[in-house]
Amino acid sequence: MSEIDIWSGFDAAAARDAGARIVDQFAADPDRLARMSVEAAGLYLDLSKQSWTRGGFEACLDLARAAGVEGERARLYAGEAVNNTEGRAVLHPALRAGDDADFHALGEAVSAEVRAVQQAMADYARAVRDGHETGATGKAFRAIVHIGIGGSDLGPRVVWDALKPLEPSIDLRFVANIDPRDMAEALTGLDPETTLVVVVSKTFTTQETLANAEAAKAWLAASLPEAGRDRHFIGVTAAPERAGGFGCGRAFAFRDWVGGRYSLWSAVSLSCVIALGPDVFDGLLSGARAMDDHFVDAPLERNAPVLMALAQIWNVDGLHRPARTVAPYAHGLRRLPAFLQQLEMESNGKRVHRDGATVTRQTCPVVFGEPGTNGQHAFFQQIHQGPQVVPAEFVIVSETLPDAAGAPLWSNALAQGQALMLGKTTEAARAELMAAGSTDAEADRLASHKTFPGNRPSTTIVMDRLTPERLGALLALYEHKTFVEGVIWDINSFDQWGVELGKVLAKAILTDVAAGGPSPDLDPSTAALLGRLMA
Ligand code: F6P
């Protein structure tokens, strides 16, 4: 079917639904809540506050069927070259599959190797934790500095923030920024004798990571004997020969069919496996596996990642809403928006289809967010009363600490979803002002300022506690959602050519710096900026 054909029903439904009020749809379709909510892998998702009518919802499902979501899902799991511009399979589900799994990447069996690396990681982590694996001076490791950027940083950071004990036995710190201050802060207070540096880079060519790794190496060299120093320096990479060449005493490998932003299930999370313990990591993998099973088995209309993807596409392409905010109501999930920015915007921020033709519709929206209660006191003003409609996503954890009262936190999330949907009319605002003693003139003057248009969509995701299993399920949910969107938009979600040009130009600018000034072919603005910075 041509692109126009598969989207025509969707477009017609969106045009019909554009003025519909969400709150009225519950009466129009008494089964709405049941139809548009789903439980998967310990997560409860409520998409009934989205802007679709029942007809719009069905049109979205028709679009997913026509776009071939089920067929593409089968190709992904079969290890075909789903990443068509790089000729690679995309097999992150293989990293969290059960013991009897037998995945193949482009025909090559991979599951035995996955299990062997997992076993090696667990053995190494246990040896570090119990003090058998020591540093150059025989002391046990008490701290880890994890160096990596993008997908080699964001996933492990979310995992650590979400699952770390209040008083960790191993202090895990992350360094991503090439700004030396990031490294300086991370190293402050650490003892080289008891510090393990884990350098994570799929390519082992990333400028920021290599610069930081050099800085860490120099820091270790300044106070440790040469013999055994390499035991402080571990590489995690798909290019183990480069890690060895860089001086890593040991390397843990993963394959090129693990995309950077989908890599937290691999050795990329070695630092977390050590600092949290292998059992915690196993829990994370088993939660993701439960979501994988759901994604593969559930029919499209009950499939959590598919419904999440369709809600986004309805907002972006049907109702022309080019942004979405994510508000986790859990301090442990404070880095989730940053993780999703890379996952979604690096995967689906694309302007050409898989065959290279220019897209004719919008693809990935701008994704941004903050922990919910913090966001409420910052940018939520715009979400409630700004002229653009920004769909919201609330991630609620009912109990964030054992025996702590969760209601003051999650009541806010529920209230925000309600307020966005219900709004407040000018008449109601005026009546409130009058009841509070305002004069007629004052009520007239202020009522419009206190009006909330309402009818603003949100999705709510609820989990009982932030366990390894729930976190694994949540992150896998977002991965599959991102994949489904890519299939429907007919784009390759697994390459990232858009980051390349800046890298090349940065190198050229460094060449100019080394040469003492801007090259004559530099544009006037960049040349002036360079001159100023070099002065
Ligand atoms: O530049 C973007 C990117 O390639 C991401 O896709 C990746 O996660 C990140 O850089 C880090 O790359 P690497 O793991 O190879 O250092």
Cβ of residue 201 lying under 6 Å from some atom of ligand 1: yes
User: What is the rounded CA–CA span in Å between residue 519 and residue 420?
Assistant: 53
One of 132, 139, 320, 503 is an active-site residue; which one? Answer: 503
- Which H or E run includes 156? helix 154-163
Domains held by the chain: number: 4
User: What is the rounded CA–CA span in Å between residue 171 and residue 274?
Assistant: 10
Among 480, 495, 510, which residue terminates a domain? 495
Pairing of strands 195-200, 143-147: parallel
Residue at 344 is within a domain: yes
> 301 and 384 share a domain?
yes
The whole-number pLDDT of residue 403 equals: 82
- What ligand 1 atom has the least distance to the C-alpha of 203? 15
User: What is the DSSP code string of 178-227?
Assistant: SSHHHHHHHHTT--GGGEEEEEE-SSS--HHHHHHHHHHHHHHHTTS-ST
Going from the C-alpha of 260 to that of each of 28, 49, 106, 339, the distances in angstroms are 45, 33, 19, 12
Among 283, 318, 337, which residue terminates a domain? 283
Residue 480 Cα to ligand 1 middle (Å): 20
Is residue 477 helix, strand or coil? helix
Nearest CA, atom 8, ligand 1 = 151
Cβ of residue 203 lying under 6 Å from some atom of ligand 1: yes
pLDDT tens profile 139-174: 999 999 999 999 999 999 999 999 999 999 999 999
- Which H or E run includes 113? helix 111-129
Cβ of residue 260 lying under 6 Å from some atom of ligand 1: yes
Nearest CA, atom 3, ligand 1 = 150
Nearest CA, atom 9, ligand 1 = 150
Q: Are 324 and 503 in contact (CB under 8 A)?
A: no
Residue at 86 is within a domain: no
Cβ of residue 149 lying under 6 Å from some atom of ligand 1: yes
Instruction: Print pLDDT tens along the chain (535 aa).
Output: 566 689 999 999 999 999 999 999 999 999 999 999 999 999 999 999 999 999 999 999 999 999 999 999 999 999 999 999 999 999 999 999 999 999 999 999 999 999 999 999 999 999 999 999 999 999 999 999 999 999 999 999 999 999 999 999 999 999 999 999 999 999 999 999 999 999 999 999 999 999 999 999 999 999 999 999 999 999 999 999 999 999 999 999 999 999 999 999 999 999 999 999 999 999 999 999 999 999 999 999 999 999 999 999 999 999 999 999 999 999 999 999 999 999 999 999 999 999 999 999 999 999 999 999 999 999 999 999 999 999 999 999 999 888 888 899 999 999 999 999 999 999 999 999 999 999 999 999 999 999 999 999 999 999 999 999 999 999 999 999 999 999 999 999 999 999 999 999 999 999 999 999 999 999 999 999 999 999 9
Enclosing domain of residue 429? 424-454
> Burial letters for 413-449: b for 16+ Cβ neighbours within 10 Å, e otherwise?
beebbebbbbbbeeeebbeebeeeebeeeebeeebee
Contacting residues for 33 by C-beta, under 8 A, at least 6 apart: 26, 46, 48
> 485 and 355 share a domain?
yes
Instruction: Note if 424 is an active site residue.
Output: no
pLDDT tens profile 350-396: 999 999 999 999 999 999 999 999 999 999 999 999 999 999 999 99
Residue at 177 is within a domain: yes
The whole-number pLDDT of residue 405 equals: 84
Among 227, 258, 283, which residue terminates a domain? 283
Q: What is the CATH number of the domain that holds 303?
A: 3.40.50.10490
CA dihedral 254, 258, 263, 266 (to 10 degrees): -30
Nearest CA, atom 16, ligand 1 = 201
User: What is the rounded CA–CA span in Å between residue 113 and residue 104?
Assistant: 11
> 245 and 105 share a domain?
yes
User: What is the DSSP code string of 222-283?
Assistant: TTS-STTGGGGEEEEES-HHHHHHTT-SEEEE--TTS-GGG-TTTGGGHHHHHHH-HHHHHH
- What ligand 1 atom has the least distance to the C-alpha of 503? 1
Residue at 525 is within a domain: yes
Residue at 87 is within a domain: no
> 272 and 178 share a domain?
yes
Nearest CA, atom 5, ligand 1 = 150
Which of 24-30's residues contact partners 24+ apart within 8 Å by CB, and which partners? 25/52, 25/53, 25/54, 28/53, 28/54, 29/53, 29/54
> 191 and 308 share a domain?
no
Residue 499 Cα to ligand 1 middle (Å): 9
Instruction: Note if 377 is an active site residue.
Output: yes
> 121 and 104 share a domain?
yes
> 67 and 191 share a domain?
no
User: What is the DSSP code string of 409-460?
Assistant: HHHHHHHHHHHHHH-B-HHHHHHHHHHTT--HHHHHHHHTTT-B-----EEE
Cβ of residue 202 lying under 6 Å from some atom of ligand 1: yes
- What ligand 1 atom has the least distance to the C-alpha of 496? 6
Model pTM? 0.97
Nearest CA, atom 2, ligand 1 = 499
Instruction: Note if 346 is an active site residue.
Output: yes
Residue at 482 is within a domain: yes
> 304 and 270 share a domain?
no
Residue 29 DSSP code: -
Residue at 359 is within a domain: yes
> 159 and 269 share a domain?
yes
> 261 and 296 share a domain?
no
- Which H or E run includes 513? helix 500-515
Residue 397 Cα to ligand 1 middle (Å): 30
Cβ of residue 458 lying under 6 Å from some atom of ligand 1: no
Residue 153 Cα to ligand 1 middle (Å): 9
Going from the C-alpha of 140 to that of each of 173, 193, 274, the distances in angstroms are 17, 8, 13
Cβ of residue 209 lying under 6 Å from some atom of ligand 1: yes
Going from the C-alpha of 309 to that of each of 10, 168, 300, 378, 497, the distances in angstroms are 14, 37, 11, 27, 23
- What ligand 1 atom has the least distance to the C-alpha of 208? 16
One of 346, 370, 469, 479 is an active-site residue; which one? Answer: 346
For the chain, how many residues are written? 535
Pocket test for ligand 1, best of 86, 92, 157, 202 (most atoms within 8 A of CB): 202
Residue 368 Cα to ligand 1 middle (Å): 20
Q: Are 145 and 197 in contact (CB under 8 A)?
A: yes
- Output Rg (C-alpha) for the chain, integer angstroms: 25
> 327 and 276 share a domain?
no
Cβ of residue 261 lying under 6 Å from some atom of ligand 1: yes
Residue at 405 is within a domain: yes
Going from the C-alpha of 278 to that of each of 288, 293, 400, the distances in angstroms are 15, 22, 22
User: What is the rounded CA–CA span in Å between residue 232 and residue 485?
Assistant: 42
> 120 and 218 share a domain?
yes
Pocket test for ligand 1, best of 83, 85, 178, 203 (most atoms within 8 A of CB): 203
The whole-number pLDDT of residue 404 equals: 84
Q: What residues form DSSP beta bridges with 172?
A: 144
Going from the C-alpha of 313 to that of each of 188, 316, 320, 321, the distances in angstroms are 45, 5, 9, 9
The whole-number pLDDT of residue 19 equals: 93
- What ligand 1 atom has the least distance to the C-alpha of 346? 6
Cβ of residue 116 lying under 6 Å from some atom of ligand 1: no
